[in-house]
Amino acid sequence: MANYKTPGVYVEEISKFPPSVAQVETAIPAFIGYTEKAEKLNGDSLHLKPTRITSLLEYETFFGSAQPETINVTVDDTVDDTDTITNRTLKVHQPISKSPFLMYYSMQLYFANGGGPCYITSVGQYGENASPKKTLVLSTELTAGLTEINKEDEPTLLVFPDATSISGTTDFYDLYEQALMQCNKLQDRFTIIDTKHCDETADPKPVQELRDEISLGKDYLKYGAAYYPFLQTVLNYRYDESSVVIEHIRSTPNAVPTALKNLEGIAGDIVHLPENISVNLPDQLDAIRTITVSGDDIGGALGNLIKFMVDKFDMYGSPKDMDETNSELLLPELEDALESLETLIAIKNQIVDDATSVVNSITENISQVNAVDNALGAITNRFDNGTNGIETVYDNLVKLHTKLTKDDKPSKYVTTISSGASNIIDELKKLVEVSITGVSPNVVYAYTTDVFGGAPSLADDLATLIAAVNAADLDGTDKDNGYMNGRTLDQIVGKDNTIYNQIKVEIDALPLTLPPSAAMAGIYARVDATRGVWKAPANVGLTYVIKPVVQISQDDQGDMNVDTVGGKSINAIRTFTGKGTLVWGARTLSGNDNEWRYINVRRFFNMVEESVGKATEQFVFEGNDASTWVRVRAMIENFLNLQWKAGALAGAKAEQAYYVRVGLGQTMTAQDILEGRMIIEIGMAAVRPAEFIILRFSHKMQEA
C-alpha cells in the first residue's frame, strides 16, 4: 500500500486473476546403474551424482557406451576337388560370457520407445580407465544410488537396468522393496519392476518368485508395476573387431563313402571254398597226402600247380619223369598260378587304398584311427612279412618262371623246381604257410584260411576293418583349418572384405535380450506426451523389439493378471498376429485394490498431488481466511476443470468429476486455524481403463 503524503496521481494494480497450477512432468525416469565412465567435460566426477540428460548423445558424452563383448564366429566352407568353395555357412555365436551391465542398451531402448529427459545415477564404472573397474553388479551399490536419487525432486519413475545381474534373488527383490518404500515416502514417483529372470523351467517360475519375494503391503505395492517377460531386441552388441575370433573350417570330399562301400561289398561276396578243397603242404614234401581242387579260381590255380608237382615229382622233390613234356605242362600251370597271385595282390592294394582313405578322414578320432590301422596292419602283414610274404613269393616265382622258360636242358628243371637255393616247391610251401586259398571266380577279393587251424583269415581281418570304419561315423568329408582360422575380424579387413562385411552383418543381426523396464519407461513417456498421464500405458506397441522371450497365452496371462492369494498383478508383454509386440496389462502390484489397481490412476494422482502441492506453496504464511480460501479453491478447480476437459476425469458435469473443499466448518475447525493449518480436500473421479470389454449378443424375435 502506497504512503499518500505527497499530492499527486498514484497508480495501483489490482490482481483479478486467480493463481494457477502448473502441471509437473510425469515421466522423468531415474536410471540407476553402472556406466562405462562418469565425468563431466571438465573432468569432474559424476559418480553417485544424479545427472539430468535429454538425449542418448548426451548420455554417451558423460557416461560412455556399453562394455564390449567377446564374440566367436564359425565359417564352414565346403570345397570341391578344384578347391572352389561350393557352399559357405556362417554362424555368429552369442557372447559366451555376456556383460552384466545393461545401462547403455537400456538407454537406447528407452529413447527408441519415446523417452525424453531423464536422470542417470552412475553407481560404478566398468571402463578401461575406471578405478576401481567394476565387474559385478552389487545390490548395495544400487541401493546407494537409490539413496542419492531420493534427494532429487523431479524424477517420477525409478528404473534399475542392471538389477537382473545381481547374483542373489533376495538381494534383487530387496532393492525393489527399498524403491517402493521411497515412492511411498515421497509420493511423487513410481517404480517399474523386472522379474529376476525369464527361465520358465525354474522352480519357482519368475512370476511366482516375484510374488514370493516382495512382501510389502498394498500401501507400498500401489507405487510399482511389474512387467514380464524379457524382450528380444534389434539392438547391436558393442564389440571390438580385435576380439571377434574366427573359427574357419574347410570341408573337402573324401573317398570314404566309396571305400566303405567297396569294403562292405567285398566282404559280402566272399565265398568259402567247398569242403573238399584242401591244401596240405607241411614243412616236408613227404607229409603231403591229398590235394583235391574243384573250380577254376585262385585256389584252383594254386591247387592245380601243386597237384601237378605232386604227380610229376616224388615225395623228396625229385622228378619222376623229367622231359620236355613235363616243362610244357608245368609252365601253363605256373602261369595260371602267377595270374591268380597278381589278382590277389591287386586286391590287397585296393584294400590298403580304401582303408588309408578311411584313416585320413578320421584323424581327429584317435581310437578309431588306431582300430582301423590295426585291422589294416593285419591284412598287409599277410602280404608283406619278409621272405614269406605273398608279394615276395610272387616276385620269386616270376623269376623262377623266367629261368624255367630259358632252360634248354631237362637236367636244369630239377634245380629250378625243387632242389636249388630258390625253387618253386619252397615258394609254394611259403604260400600255403601264409594261408592263401581262394574265392569264387567272380569275386575281386580273396580270403585266407590258416591250414594250421584257428588263426584269423583274411575275411576275418576284413570284417574287423569294416567294423572299425563303421564305428568312426564318417560323414564323407575331410575337415581342416582354413586360412582365417584363429584370426580376428580386424585381421581380415582389406584381405577378404566380402567375408568381413558378412560377419559384421551377422553380428549386428544377433538378438540382444533386455529386461523390459527401460522400454516401459519410454512407453510411459510416449503415452503421457501423446495422450496424458491419465491414459493407461497399455495396448501400445514396442519399437526395437523383435518379440518377447517367452510367448504368453491368454490363460497364462489370466494367472499373471489376477492373483487371488496375494493380489500381486504382473503385466504381460505379448505378441499378436498382425499387431506386433504390445504391452497387454496396466495394473499396479496392488492388483486387488479397487482404489489403486491401475497404473494410470496412481500416476495421475501423483501428478495432481505434486502439481497442486507446488502451486499452493505460494500461500504458505498467507492469511488463513476466507479470501485466501476462495483463491486457493478457484486455483485448484481451474486446474481440475482442465483435466476433466482433457478426459482425465469421469463425469457429465464438472461437479460430477471433481470437488474442492476448503474453509471453516468444511475442512477445518477453529482449532485448526489457531494452529495454522489450512486443510484442502480434493475429490476426483479418475478415469479407469476398460480392461474387460464384454460384448453380449442375443437373438431378436421377428416383428414382421
pLDDT of amino acid 468: 65
Q: Are residues 406 and 452 in the same domain?
A: yes
Same domain, 129 and 201: yes
Using alpha carbons only, how large is the chain's radius of gyration in Å? 47
Strand partners, 91: 74
* Residue whose C-alpha is closest to residue 586's, from 531, 659, 505: 531
Secondary structure of residue 536 in the 3-state scheme: coil
Assess whether 340 and 382 both reside in one domain. Answer: yes
**331 domain residue, yes or no:** yes
What cell numbers appear for 524 in the block?
510411459
Strands across the sheet containing 239-253: 85-92, 69-79, 239-253, 477-481
Residue 419 DSSP code = I
Nearest-angstrom CA–CA distance, 156 and 135: 29
* 196 and 133 together in one domain: yes
Domain extent, residue 666, equals 620-704
Residues 6 or more apart whose Cβ sits within 8 Å of residue 60: none
500 and 520, same domain (yes or no):
no
Question: Does residue 179 share a domain with residue 50?
Answer: yes
What CA–CA distances, in Å, run from 76 to 190, 391, 487, 502, 504? 51, 44, 14, 13, 16
pTM equals: 0.70
- Say if residue 15 is exposed, middle or buried (CB neighbours under 10 Å; 0-12, 13-18, 19+): exposed
Q: Mention every residue, 6+ apart, whose C-beta is less than 8 A from residue 490.
A: 240, 241, 242, 244
Residue 676 falls within a domain, yes or no? yes
pLDDT for 439 equals: 29
The Cα–Cα gap between 635 and 623 comes to 16
Q: Are residues 558 and 522 in the same domain?
A: yes
The span from the CA of 480 to the CA of 464, in Å, is 28
For residues 260 and 391, membership in a common domain is answered with yes
DSSP 62-76: HH--PPPEEEEEEEE
**pLDDT reported for residue 328:** 61
DSSP 153: S
Residues 447, 489: one domain?
no
pLDDT at 374: 72
Q: What angle do CA 198, 204, 206 make, to 5 degrees?
A: 25
Residue 55 domain flag: yes
| 43 three-class SS | coil
Domain end: 600, 631, 655, which one?
Answer: 600
Cross-strand partners of 39: 45
Residue for grid cell 502451486: 615
Structural domain includes residue 489: yes
Cell of 504: 559384421
> Closest Cα partner for 72 from 91, 93, 90?
93
Neighbours of 349 (CB within 10 A): 13
Q: Is the peptide bond before 456 cis (omega within 30 degrees of 0)?
A: no
The pLDDT value recorded for residue 598 is: 93
Residue 189 gets which letter from DSSP? Answer: -
Query: Is residue 14 domain-resident?
Result: no
Q: In what order do the strands lie in the sheet with 29-35?
A: 51-53, 118-125, 29-35, 157-159, 190-194, 224-228, 570-576, 580-584, 540-541
Q: List, in sequence order, every beta strand (DSSP E) within 139-208.
A: 157-159, 190-194
Whether residues 410 and 298 share a domain: the answer is: yes
Residues in the chain predicted with pLDDT less than 50, given as ranges, are 255, 268-299, 315-316, 434-456
Tell whether 376 is covered by a domain: yes
Handedness of CA 79, 80, 82, 86 (dihedral sign): negative
CB 362 within 8 A of CB 472: yes
420 and 318 in one domain? yes
Q: What is the CATH number of the domain that holds 192?
A: 3.40.50.11780
CA-CA distance, 352 to 355, in Å (whole number)? 5
Classify residue 144: in a domain, yes or no: yes
All three cell numbers of 693, joined, read 470389454
How many angstroms separate the CA atoms of 342 and 336, rounded?
10
For 411, list phi and psi in degrees, rounded to 5.
-65, -25
**pLDDT of 618:** 92
In the chain, how many domains are there? 4
Decide if 633 is inside a domain.
yes
Residues 360 and 491 placed together within one structural domain of the fold: no
